[in-house]
Amino acid sequence: MRYAETGFSLEIDLSRGSIEKVATDARDTALYLGGQGIAAKILFERVPPGTDPFSPDNLLIFSTGLLHGTPAPAANRTVVNTFSPQTNLMSHSLFGGFFGPELKYAGYDRIIIRGKAPDLVYLYIHNDKVEIRDATHLRGKGTTETGDLLKRELKDQKVQVAAIGLAGENRVYMASIDHNHASAARGVGVIMGDKRLKAIAVRGTKDLNLARPAELFDVCQRIHKKMAESSGCGDWMAVDEDDSFHHNHFAWGNARTRIKNYWSKELQERWTKWKYDHMDRQTGCYNCPKKCRNVIKWPGRPRFGYKCFGKDTYHMAAFLELDFSYEILGVAQEYGVDSYSTPQVIAFALELLEAGILTDKDFPGMPADSKGRFFYLLEKIVRREGIGDILADSVSHAARRIGNGAEKYDHNTTKKFEQLPIKLGKLNPAYFLMIATGEKMSITQIEGSFPQDPLPTREQREEFVGKWEAVPDEKFKKYFLEWEKRSDMSDERTCDIVDWNEAMHYIDDSIGTCGFVSSFRGQFGGDVPYHMNNIPRIISLATGIEMDKEKLWKAFQRIRTLVRAVNVRRGLRRKDERPPEDHWAIRDEKYEQELLSKYYAFKGWNREGIPTRQTLERLDMGYVADDLEQRGILSADESMPA
Amino acid sequence: MKSGRTTRIVKEIKVDINQCTGCRACEMACSAYHAHPRYSSVNPAKSRIRVVADELNDEYVPIRAGDYTPSECNGRHIYTINGKEYSECSFCGASCPSRDYFVEPDSGLPLKCDMCESVPPLAEPMCVQVCGTDALTYVEREVEREETPQIKRGQIEIGLESLVNQHGIQAVIESLNQMSKARK
């Protein structure tokens, strides 16, 4: 018997209309855990590197994490992977809520979708009953609206639905996949739409078996209690009304303008009133006591939920205030677009208009005010009408299609993906490496375990380190104790820190735990309930697989390296690993390239950022080395680390 | 026969629907606690507490499994509370054919909340223990009640009473008379 996982994948071919329940190999679980780890292996093995993301041969994979459905709290983030037309690389996204655990209870660890349906369909999964059903009646329906309609149609309030909106249907690159008020961004909605898959509705009523249940339940209840009581985890931004951090430090418009003293007490009072006058409640995800999502009902607009920086992106791109974000977010949620990249695409278009590269003729009937323009362009983009058809391909591709100097306005992307609008002074080495080499595309998915900034006094640092349970190795305590100025960190230590930050995200995204109680949260206070010192035992108790810190760290390295190999096969090279040129005002190309080389060597990759045979074999992936050599990507003399 | 006033403990789970975040930790814990052997599996479909959740209507109501009923109601109230509409079903704990709550998914047998009564007893039912937002709180209330004198009845009396209820006393008397004649 398999514990904590079901041992089955659901394989759907939408071109042929076939449905198969396929038993999986338990050895993959031991090596790649689940979630993104196993999805990367499937993409490596089954999607040839030359495959166009819009080809029927591209796969769209919805994965549960290894701990989904177990008593482990906050293990609920569903992982979505595919190849993105925006980056032409592996797309990695996540959404919270209830979908992943429900899929486990239905008897599957993941859904692997290939092919394309002739017209819109939805997938209905109720335990062993799986059907591809007509969804033409849902065409153009909003994301949560679709969820609601399917619950009625299936006469089951407990069915969990993930759906695309109009943006996904129209293959907008910024399209998201939405589940209740949770959303998966970064290039997955476009492929769901391309496959003509409007929604997946899942309902499961089967038992999930556990290896050492009584001990596991006890450990998990302790963590649950700690989570409930601690202010060191969850999204503090859901309750902290002082958002001076984003508004004073992040850039407005098309990631251009900083307004350093924007925040004021008067503004905070006004915005807080807007929030509490319109907030229904705060909600949580499956089996998690935190309430990170604020649910807002703005008059005349659909109810929506947001967390974190998601409430700021629209009004900062539009140079407006919070009430504008509250007004547009519900509309954008129903269309199913990413709230991080979409406002940047709109601000980019308006900048081109101001610069004369686009003209009024490109925007027929557009209102003169900022709010009206954002609503206008949102409509154009999700319908791919007029200029919206070009903008729907995201900033980088749109800039190239428009030409005439528009490329210069594509200044905030890395690997053709919109980055957070952060424009700072002096280079931060760890952040340079994370943004340059990150394959999760957004810094929020890479940073998070080691604090962003040092504490001012030795006493404070000692106090911090004294309570620091999350450190995987004592050396990190030493690094922190000796750290006085932000930029004052050796390259070797910087590589170690980046490695730990990455490790936690790769583990979270394979076992399904949420970054707000794990990988993302340690940088703000260090007190996270999940860390390298307790996750191995939880995995052991849940799955029966013998796991310890060293094995888990190796699993991270294996998954990280496999994702790199997947992308290397599709052409990712050193030249692509560049943060936006204006991310920092002061740059030093020579130093940055030296640092990048050190990081590659640290990872066991060659000068081009390609994992060497030695590294791949150490991580039990000789088959990857063979493949890279057969394709001429690695040659025998390049096989040693740089 | 004794009569007089006695006290008993009423166990209550108070629900504050404004505090519920819809996380369903209560469902997880209930199903694990009631698994055989205890904690051996998780399956919210077997939980004796379910959160009726409707995100579009901002509705989150944890309900506790009550009695089995063979048929669904022939009509339902719609309650409007603070401007939001709730179906009567949102507050009803019956195991009923209108939905699959509180039914063992494999056997179809009804499930009922037992307040996690066990030996040794839990301090609080599992669902309350795991509720991190105080949407569920546990209260034990002592109530006094009038002890009505109970007459101990034999099996014959109980059996006869059910026959009387079903057929009327006259029919039972006639039958008994005929039976006694036939035996003579």
| Cβ-defined contact of B21 to A291 (cutoff 8 Å) | yes
Q: List where CATH 1.10.599.10 sits in chain A.
A: 428-638
Angle formed at CA A390 by CA A389 and CA A395, multiple of 5 degrees? 130
- pLDDT confidence tier of residue B3, bands split at 50, 70 and 90: low
Nearest CA of chain A to the CA of B91: how many Å? 15
Cβ–Cβ gap A213/B60 under 8 Å: no
Of A226, A219, A101, give the one whose Cα is nearest residue B39. A219
Helix (H) and strand (E) counts for chain A? 24, 20
CB contact under 8 A, B22 and A287: no
* Token output for A225: 């209690």
Give the other-Cβ count within 10 Å of B122's Cβ: 14
Contact A281 B60 (CB under 8 A): yes
Q: Nearest to residue A67, comparing CAs of A298, A239, A223, A297?
A: A223
Q: Which residue in A has a C-alpha nearest to residue B126's C-alpha?
A: A221
Cβ-contact A6, B43 below 8 angstroms: no
CA distance B22 to chain A (A): 6
B132: which chain A residues are within 8 Å (Cβ-Cβ)? 224-225, 227-228, 289-290
| Highest CATH level, class, for A428-638 | mainly alpha
Say which CATH superfamily domain A8-203 falls into: Aldehyde ferredoxin oxidoreductase, N-terminal domain (3.60.9.10)
Whole-model pTM: value is: 0.94
Which pair of structure tokens corresponds to residue B52? 């009726």
CB contact under 8 A, B55 and A227: no
Cis? peptide before B120, omega within 30° of 0: yes
Residue A196 · residue A119 · CB < 8 Å: yes
A519-530 residue pLDDT tens: 999 999 878 999
Cβ contact B48:B36 at 8 Å: no
B57-101 tens-digit pLDDT? 899 999 999 999 999 998 899 999 988 999 999 999 999 998 889
Phi, psi of A82 (to 5 degrees): -170, -170
Q: What is the pLDDT of residue A526?
A: 78
Which chain B residues are within 8 Å of A210, Cβ to Cβ? 39-42
- How many interchain CB pairs under 8 A, A with B? 114
- Could you give the 3-state DSSP secondary structure of residue A297? coil
pLDDT over threshold 70, residue B116:
yes
Residue in B32, B54, B131 nearest the CB of A217: B32
Q: Which fold has domain A231-411?
A: 1.10.569
Judge: B18–A281 Cβ closer than 8 Å, yes or no. Answer: yes
Please judge whether B55 and A180 are an interchain contact, meaning their C-beta atoms are less than 8 angstroms apart.
yes
Give the chain B residue whose CA is nearest to the CA of A161. Answer: B55
* pLDDT band (50, 70, 90) for residue B1: very low
Helix (H) or strand (E) holding A330: helix A322-335
Q: Is B58 at the interface with chain A, CB within 8 A? A: yes
DSSP A292: -
Inter-chain touch B43–A217, beta carbons under 8 Å = no
B21: contact with A, CB 8 A cutoff: yes
Contacts of A182 in chain B (CB under 8 A): none
Q: Which of B16, B55, B104 to mutate to test binding with chain A, by most A CBs within 10 Å of its CB? A: B55
Q: Are strands A424-426 and A584-586 parallel, antiparallel or unpaired?
A: parallel
Give the minimum alpha-carbon distance from A509 to chain B in angstroms, rounded to a whole number: 20
User: Is the separation of the CB atoms in A347 and A314 below 8 Å?
Assistant: no
Contact at CB, A206 and B40, closer than 8 angstroms:
no
Tokens linked to B78: 């719609």
Amino acid at A570: R
| Cα A603 to Cα A597: distance, rounded to the nearest angstrom | 10
Determine which helix (DSSP H) or strand (DSSP E) holds A183, and give its type and residue range: strand A182-184
A88: left (phi over 0), alpha (psi -120 to 50) or beta: left
| CB contact residues (below 8 A), chain B span 125-184, against chain A | 129-133
Report the candidate in B22, B19, B48 with the shortest Cα–Cα distance to residue B33: B48
Query: B56 and A148: CB-CB below 8 Å?
Result: yes
By C-alpha distance, which of A25, A344, A71, A422 is closest to A223? A71
Q: Which residues contact A300 (CB under 8 A, 6 or more apart)?
A: none
Residue span(s) of chain A under CATH 3.60.9.10 come to 8-203
Mean pLDDT score of chain B, rounded to an integer?
Answer: 92
Query: What distance, in Å, lies between the first and last C-alpha atoms of chain A?
Result: 44
CB proximity B26 to A under 8 Å:
no
Contact, A45 vs A261, CB < 8 A? no
Q: Which residue of B has its CA nearest to A76?
A: B23
Q: In chain A, which residues have their Cβ closer than 8 Å to the Cβ of B29?
A: 71, 221
ipTM of the complex: 0.94
Whether residues B40 and A295 touch (CB distance < 8 A) is answered with: no
Contact (Cβ atoms closer than 8 angstroms) between residue A187 and residue A111: no
Kindly give the parts of chain A with pLDDT less than 70.
636-642
A-chain residues near B32 (CB < 8 A): 71, 213, 217
Residue range A287-331, pLDDT digits in tens: 999 999 999 999 999 999 999 999 999 999 999 999 999 999 999
